[in-house]
Amino acid sequence: MTVGVLIVDDHPLFLQGLRVALDSEGDLAVVGEAGSGEEAVEAVTRLGPAVQVVLMDLRLPRMPGVEAIRAITSETAGHRPRVLVVSRYEDDDEVVAALRAGAHGYVAKEASRDELLRAVRTVAEGGAVFSASIAERLGTYFSAIHDFPGRLAFPQLTNREREILDLLARGHTNRRIARHLVLSDKTVRNHVSHIFAKLQVTNRDDAMTRARDAGLGT
């Protein structure tokens, strides 16, 4: 049985290389391509069961890859393809966010052709796979959760935003946070605004409550 693959990447040369590698295999076939998150969601809807695996870059225009993964793996039209992230490694939080959105693996763009092909087959067969370097970093990440329990709760936050949220949960004012982190008051205010938006809260008290429930501020 041939595995239908949708490639999502906004770099034409890389996309072309993936297409050639996949189409050279008898059991894999590229059934579609997309250059943005929005195009990926549309393609999965249009192609339906013809797509078994989606190769997803995370740095995409208009709709970020994590949002596209969440939309693709949600229960729509009774078909949910499996998603393998093929992206440049950015940080631990990005990997965890992709997994929480529904991805079944993460392979670095620097991976060899053989590694990538094995990963596609593994995911198509129902497994999960990670590049060795990413798996090692994830091991370190999860072992550190006990020291910073809010990391898993708020993967959408940057490390700096999470640090500020932790101090906010301790009852620190913006000025005190600025002094503690050696930042300007304006920079802290901007970070706090971004935190509110990402947590979908409208005030400091609600942000503090969510942070403390997740184990921050202790």
Q: What is the domain-level CATH number for residue 105?
A: 3.40.50.2300
Helix (H) or strand (E) holding 134: helix 132-143
Last residue of a domain, one of 119, 139, 159: 139
Last residue of a domain, one of 120, 139, 158: 139
Is residue 37 domain-shared with residue 130, that is, in the same domain?
yes
Confidence at residue 153, expressed as pLDDT on a 0 to 100 scale: 65
Last residue of a domain, one of 117, 139, 161: 139
Q: What percentage of the chain has pLDDT greater than the value 90?
A: 53
3-state secondary structure of 87: strand
The mean of the pLDDT values for the chain is 86
DSSP bridge pairs for 56: 8, 85
Confidence at residue 212, expressed as pLDDT on a 0 to 100 scale: 85
Token pair for 168: 């906010």
Is residue 130 domain-shared with residue 204, that is, in the same domain?
no
Number of domains in the chain: 2
> Does residue 144 sit within a domain?
no
Is residue 83 domain-shared with residue 183, that is, in the same domain?
no
Is residue 84 domain-shared with residue 175, that is, in the same domain?
no
Domain around 204: 150-213
């990413």: which residue's tokens? 134
Answer for the pair 141, 100: CB distance below 8 angstroms, yes or no: no
Confidence at residue 76, expressed as pLDDT on a 0 to 100 scale: 54
Is residue 114 domain-shared with residue 173, that is, in the same domain?
no
Q: Which residues contact 175 (CB under 8 A, 6 or more apart)?
A: 185, 188
Confidence at residue 141, expressed as pLDDT on a 0 to 100 scale: 57
Is residue 109 domain-shared with residue 204, that is, in the same domain?
no
Is residue 81 domain-shared with residue 178, that is, in the same domain?
no
- The segments of the chain whose pLDDT lies below 50 read 77
CATH number at residue 177: 1.10.10.10
pLDDT digits (tens, 9 = 90+) for 4-45: 999 999 999 999 999 999 999 999 999 999 999 999 999 999
Is residue 107 domain-shared with residue 21, that is, in the same domain?
yes
